[in-house]
Amino acid sequence: MGTYKIAVLPGDGIGPEVTTQALRVLERVGARFGHTFQTTQALVGAAAIEAEGDAISDATMALCQESDAILFGAVGGVSRYEGPNSKVQPERALFRLRKELELFANLRPVRPFKALLNASTLKPSILEGTDLLVVRELTGGIYFGKPSEIRQTPHGLEAIDTLLYSEGEIERIVRTAFELARGRTKKKVTSVDKANVLSSSRLWRRVAERVAADYPDITFEHLLVDACAMHLIRRPASFDVIVTENMFGDILTDEASMLAGSMGMLPSASLGTRQTAHGTFGLYEPIHGSAPDIAGQNKANPIASILSLAMLLRHSLSLEAEAQAVERAVEQVIDAGYRTEDLQEAGTTIVGTEEMGRLIAEA
Ligand code: GGG
């Protein structure tokens, strides 16, 4: 009980539209279960660059630090900040939040709803039984390694990015994956790397093996990232927990989102070790980006944002019954045949962002 403090950072493109629908559901949860959710909104991404001169201000960072959780929309996709000469990228907001708040574990569950098995490009018989969790390392790897720059040489420009991982960074994310696997049915961890090419992956593999020895109750395997990409669409139901580095995790989950029917269906939780009075501090966001091509048109699917809210209720506020109520409401609306445009199928009713949010809140 008590007041729950949530920082709300809607961001750019479709971020504000989908976040509005998640907040609508949150309001309903508060009324239904008798909770007070204190939400405070702030700018991030291109919106913040324009109004405050940076992708995320120190004041917004402080707001996040003082909150129990962060509900994040999406950033980026604004062309004037994407050129090679742009000094500050909207995505910097996310990277600063992840790094400074030490949110190293990004949980991306992929559990296709039964009624959506036909919405996927894969055959329902291949999807049957799919219930996997990608644990993406979020504060290391090529996203953060230095040097990272475009530089002048006597022979023209060259560019460098650095894929760097310490033993400690690998160990904590792999251990997180094993701990999560213990609470799941299949009890299996697949560690994904590119150990036939990359030194960072060879260290990853060595550390993962050492950690695996502490979990004899969990089935463990290594898989090269290229093979994993193939098997995700060949035999998705054979996976349980997939643990991998930052960029591989980003790419594999865009692919895996199609198992659930659309990018608009996958939520995520970014967690560290910090505990608040209510649970584990975290940032929650749909895995999709800002989708500028459909922004402001009431077309975006708000379900990834609403399911991210369910993860927030579960992990940061320890409100399990409330989280399940939100997930059931989403399933109920899907079962009733309502879809946003990204999930078009014969015999379903297409609704906009706003209508989908209203239906889920009512359910
Ligand atoms: N809601 C996720 C989002 O805004 N993604 C934009 C992005 O560029 N993210 C970088 C990343 O997660 O790798």
Q: How many beta carbons lie within 10 A of that of residue 7, not counting itself?
A: 25
Domain match, 85 and 155 both? no
Domain match, 313 and 186 both? no
**pLDDT tens by residue, 173-210:** 999 999 999 999 999 999 999 999 999 999 999 999 99
Last residue of a domain, one of 225, 244, 260: 260
Domain match, 235 and 336 both? no
Whether 113 maps to a domain, the answer reads: no
User: According to the model, what pLDDT value does residue 120 have?
Assistant: 79
Indicate whether residue 91 lines ligand 1 (CB < 6 A): yes
Asked if residues 82 and 55 have their Cβ atoms less than 8 Å apart, the reply is: no
Indicate whether residue 76 lines ligand 1 (CB < 6 A): yes
Q: Is 297 annotated as a binding residue?
A: yes
Q: How many beta carbons lie within 10 A of that of residue 230, not counting itself?
A: 12
Whether 11 maps to a domain, the answer reads: yes
Whether 111 maps to a domain, the answer reads: no
Residue 91 alpha carbon to ligand 1 centre in Å: 7
Pocket test for ligand 1, best of 44, 94, 248, 290 (most atoms within 8 A of CB): 94
Tell me, yes or no, if the pTM score tops 0.90: yes
Indicate whether residue 285 lines ligand 1 (CB < 6 A): yes
Number of domains in the chain: 2
Going by CA atoms, what residue is nearest to atom 4 of ligand 1? Answer: 74
Q: Which domain holds residue 70?
A: 1-106+263-363
Phi, psi at 69, each rounded to 5°:
-165, 165
Whether 254 maps to a domain, the answer reads: yes
Domain match, 188 and 274 both? no
Rounded to whole angstroms, the Cα distance separating 59 from 253 reads 32
**pLDDT tens by residue, 116-159:** 988 777 899 999 999 999 999 999 999 999 999 999 999 999 99
Whether 115 maps to a domain, the answer reads: no
Domain match, 231 and 273 both? no
Domain match, 267 and 234 both? no
Q: Report the catalytic residues.
A: 143, 194, 226, 250, 254
Give the closest residue to 305 by CA, choosing from 33, 6, 103, 26: 26
Domain match, 246 and 279 both? no
Indicate whether residue 266 lines ligand 1 (CB < 6 A): no
Domain match, 149 and 229 both? yes
**pLDDT tens by residue, 89-107:** 999 999 999 999 999 999 9
Last residue of a domain, one of 260, 287, 305: 260
Ligand 1 atom showing the smallest separation from residue 250 Cα? 13
Whether 151 maps to a domain, the answer reads: yes
Whether 114 maps to a domain, the answer reads: no
Whether 313 maps to a domain, the answer reads: yes
Domain match, 227 and 271 both? no
Q: Is the dihedral of CA 10, 16, 18, 20 positive or negative?
A: positive
User: According to the model, what pLDDT value does residue 243 have?
Assistant: 99
User: According to the model, what pLDDT value does residue 64 have?
Assistant: 98
Indicate whether residue 286 lines ligand 1 (CB < 6 A): yes
Ligand 1 atom showing the smallest separation from residue 286 Cα? 1
Domain match, 255 and 267 both? no
What is the Cβ-side half-sphere exposure of residue 324, based on CA atoms within 13 angstroms? 4
CATH number of the CATH domain containing 164: 3.40.718.10
Along the chain (363 residues), what's the average pLDDT of each consecutive run of 10 residues? 91 98 98 97 96 96 98 90 78 96 98 89 91 98 96 97 98 98 98 98 98 98 98 98 98 96 97 97 98 97 98 98 98 97 90 98 98
Last residue of a domain, one of 260, 285, 313: 260
Going by CA atoms, what residue is nearest to atom 10 of ligand 1? Answer: 91
Domain match, 218 and 166 both? yes
Residue 31 alpha carbon to ligand 1 centre in Å: 32
Domain match, 131 and 176 both? yes
